[in-house]
Amino acid sequence: QVQLVQSGAEVKKPGASVKVSCKASGYTFTSYHMHWVRQAPGLGLEWMGTINPSGGSTTYAQRFQGRVTMTRDTSTSTVYMELNSLRSEDTAVYYCARHRTHCSNGICYWFFDLWGRGTLVTVSS
Amino acid sequence: DIQMTQSPSSLSASVGDRVTITCRASQSISRKLNWYQHKPGEAPKLLIYAASSLQGGVPSRFSGSGSGTVFTLTISSLQPEDYATYSCQQSHSYTFGGGTKVEIK
């Protein structure tokens, strides 16, 4: 079954770090980039960054540069997202999502076709 | 950065209603626009990519249109399982709109 299974909810204190995992199954893990997206209470979805599971290269959204690290373990088909120096505004549901590309008439379109169910991270003193 | 603005932020509709959601980009994004449906506790679901291409398995009552800076998602006849939040995404730099919550009237 093609799916992304994320780790369970976390509660952290301000200043701490959190590491969320996303295990892929049912497809070739190294063939598709993976993204991380979060949704804070009352706000819209926010793209955090992406990792290429094949070589491990990453691209992060500017606002998370220096605070987020995305890694992968090809032996377990798992990607990880670690966020440091947590503050209350980081309270959110964090999702992993698979990248797909569709090309037509010489134009390529990118989208996220498979998502995990999300991991709630609560930052509270 | 390309900003995405959705309207309305919420709406109330009855089963069978036609629902239209609009997404505006701060600059032209051609047809590089996706639509997602998400519900609490569930994995978000891709509905439409490339502005108007229906993802496999998505009911045909969902349709997308537009290009450049203005896009719409239409649900032709709202069903009980369609009560959810809908978000657009531009795929140049992956920015999402603020979401539209569709509630029961």
**Does the beta-carbon distance from B44 to A43 stay under 8 Å?**
no
pLDDT bucket at A42, cuts 50 / 70 / 90: very high
SS3 at position A10: strand
What local confidence, expressed as pLDDT, does residue A20 receive? 98
What local confidence, expressed as pLDDT, does residue A1 receive? 95
Provide the CB-side half-sphere exposure for A71 (13 A, CA). Answer: 8
Question: Which residues, 6+ apart, have CB-to-CB distance to A55 below 8 Å?
Answer: none
SS3 at position A90: helix
> Shortest Cα distance from A43 to chain B (angstroms)?
7
Q: What would the pLDDT profile of A66-86 be if each residue is shown by its tens digit?
A: 999 999 999 999 999 999 999
**Residue A17 phi/psi, 5° resolution?**
-120, 155
B chain contacts of residue A95, beta-carbon cutoff 8 Å: 43-44
What local confidence, expressed as pLDDT, does residue B92 receive? 86
Distance (Å, whole) CA A78 – CA A90:
23
**Looking at the predicted structure, is the pLDDT value of residue A29 above 90?**
yes
